[in-house]
Structure formats: structure tokens, C-alpha cells
């Protein structure tokens, strides 16, 4: 899977989700299994089977989150180089076709949220912008062709 870089906010969100799963949902899953078990014959108890399956999925989710956190690294935003676009860079770009300007921040896959202007470094636009400097052009392939963007500014 490799190392992923996160903002403090992103790491806090991952930790909170893991705590919710372990401290709230895990005990609830155990309780649901116990309640289903108390209803009698396990060989024909669909409620018991469903509760066991839900518990298995929950444990898998917990395991994946723990793995993600073990490979997560915090990025010190104050140390970011603003001469080129990197993870966590905030960029202003201009669509050369229609003249529209957009502002994005490049973030790790799990922090991406287009509504708040955070795009994944693994997205086509994110990949196309990485390493570019102010004044450069990025030609990015999208489903309906190519879009040419001019990099107007890079900030932290």
C-alpha cells in the first residue's frame, strides 16, 4: 500500500473513525450477536448469521483503518515548498478553453472532497498538476478529451 501523507485534520478524522468503530460499533456488534444467540437454535437463526457477518465486516474495516494509520505520515504544512505543486499545495488554475479559474488543494486520496476544493493527488487533475510551477501549463486527459490548465498561483 505504501506511505500516505495527511494533514493534521485528516489524521484526526481517521483516528476518530477508528475510535468510533472500536469503542461504539464493536461492542454493539457483540451485543447483537449475544441477543441473537439467546433466541435459540443457531442452525436456523438468520439474525445470528447476519450479526456474525456484520461483525466480520466491522473487524475488516477496523483492520484496514489500522493499516492505513500505520502507514500515514503527517505533513508539516509550514515546510512546504511553494515553487512547485506538491501534496497539500493550494493552487489556482485557469482553464484555457473557457477562461474559468478554479482553486484546489491537492490531498491524499482519503481526504479528497470536491465540494471543499480538495482533490486527490491520484486523480487525473491531481496527477497532471504535480510538479508544475507557476506559469506552467498542464494538459490533462479527461473523459471527454484534454483540458489545458495554466497554473496561476501555488500557496500552502
Give percent of the chain with pLDDT exceeding 70. Answer: 94
CA distance linking residue 61 with residue 26, whole number of Å: 11
CB 154 within 8 A of CB 90: yes
pLDDT at 78 over 70: no
The CA distance from 20 to 14, in Å, is 10
CA–CA distance, 155 with 55 (Å, rounded to integer): 44
CA atoms within 13 A on the CB side of 129: 33
List, in order of start, the domains of the chain with CATH numbers: 4-74 (1.10.287.180), 77-155 (3.10.50.30)
Per DSSP, 50 falls in state H
pTM exceeds 0.85: no
Report the SS3 class of residue 149: strand
What pLDDT is attached to residue 29? 92
Question: What is the structure's pLDDT at 80?
Answer: 62
8 Å CB contact between 128 and 139? yes
pLDDT single digits (tens) 94-104: 999 899 999 99
Amino acid at each position: 500500500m505504501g506511505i500516505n501523507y495527511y494533514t493534521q485534520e485528516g489524521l484526526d478524522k481517521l483516528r476518530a473513525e477508528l475510535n468510533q468503530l472500536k469503542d461504539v460499533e464493536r461492542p454493539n456488534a457483540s451485543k447483537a450477536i449475544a441477543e441473537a444467540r439467546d433466541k435459540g437454535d443457531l442452525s436456523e437463526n438468520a439474525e445470528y448469521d447476519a450479526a456474525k457477518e456484520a461483525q466480520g465486516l466491522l473487524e475488516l474495516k477496523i483492520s484496514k483503518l489500522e493499516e492505513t494509520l500505520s502507514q500515514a505520515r503527517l505533513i508539516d504544512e509550514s515546510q512546504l515548498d511553494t515553487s512547485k505543486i506538491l501534496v497539500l499545495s493550494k493552487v489556482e488554475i485557469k482553464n484555457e478553453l473557457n477562461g474559468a479559474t478554479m482553486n484546489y488543494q491537492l490531498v491524499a486520496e482519503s481526504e479528497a472532497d470536491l465540494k471543499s476544493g480538495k482533490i486527490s493527488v491520484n486523480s487525473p487533475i491531481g496527477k497532471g498538476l504535480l510538479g508544475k510551477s507557476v506559469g506552467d501549463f498542464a494538459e490533462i486527459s479527461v473523459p471527454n478529451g484534454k483540458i489545458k490548465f495554466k497554473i496561476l498561483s501555488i500557496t500552502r
